[in-house]
Chains A and B, each alone.
Chain A
Amino acid sequence: MIESLEYVHQEGTKRDHSVVVYALSTCGFCRRALGFLKNNDVDFRYVYIDNLPSEVKQTVKQELRERYRIKELFPTLILDEDKAITGFDREEWQRQLGLA
C-alpha cells in the first residue's frame, strides 16, 4: 500500500538519501520537520496521512508499524527505505541526514 500512495515531491539538490516523511497536516512538529528539509535543500517526498481515506490510512499505519517496528508517532522519517526515525528533533535529523 505505501508504495502506491500519492506523495508530494519536494525537489532539492541534496539527494544523498532516499527521504520519505509520513506526516499529519495538523501537527506543528510535522510542519516544522518539512520546513527543515526544505530549508536544507533536501530532496524528499511526503504524504499527510490524516488526509487519506480512513481505510487506506489504517492500512498504511499498520504497514509502517510492521515493516519498521515503530510506534505510531508523527512525523515519521524513512531513510533509504530502511531506517525509521519517529518524531522531530532537529539535531537528530541533522545527524541522520548528514547535515550537521
Chain B
Amino acid sequence: MAESRKTVEDARRFASMVAEHQGWKLMADPEFLGTLVEGLATNHNRYGYYLCPCRDSLGSPSADEDVICPCEYAQADIEEHGHCFCALYQSPAFHARGGEPASIPERSPRRG
C-alpha cells in the first residue's frame, strides 16, 4: 500500500529532480507530460512507489523493482532512442529537436 499519498505536483517535482540530477530533460509536450506525472502519482498511490506510467505492475515491489522510475533501462534507452520507455525523460538533443516520441522496445526481461 502507499506510504503516503502523492499529488501530481509531488510527482512533477520528483521527475524534475531526477532529470536535473541525471542531465536529462523532461518531456516537452505539456499534455503528454501531464499524463505521465499524473500517472506516476496514480501509481504511487496504488502501489506505494513510482512505477513507470507506461508499464503495468506485475504484482509486487520485487517484481517491479527494475521499472520503478527512473527505470534501470532509462539511460540506455535515452542513449539509443533519445527518450526513456515512457518518454518522460529525454536527451537534451532529442528535446531540442522537438521530435515526436514513439513507443520503443521493452528491455525488461520480466515483461516478455
Which residues does A use to contact B, with CB under 8 Å?
Answer: 24-32, 49-50, 54, 57-58, 61, 71-74, 86-90
Contacts and interface: CB of A to CB of B under 8 A. Distances in A.
7 tightest A-B contacts by CB? A87-B103, A26-B39, A26-B53, A27-B54, A89-B102, A28-B32, A28-B35
Contacts of A24: 39, 53-56
A48 to B, nearest CB: 10
Contacts of B59: 54, 58
Interface residues of B, number: 27
Interface stretch (B15-23, B70-78, B90-98, B104-112): B104-112
Contacts of B53: 24, 26-28
Instruction: Name B's interface SS.
Output: loop
Given A87-B103, A89-B103, A29 B54 contact: yes
B56 A87 contact: no
A28 B27 CA distance: 10
Contact of A88 (B27, B35, B55, B103): B103
Contacts of A30: 54
A29 B55 CA distance: 11
Contacts of A25: 39, 42
Given A26-B53, A27-B54, A57-B56, A73 B38 contact: no
Contacts of A58: 59
Contacts of B103: 29, 73, 86-89
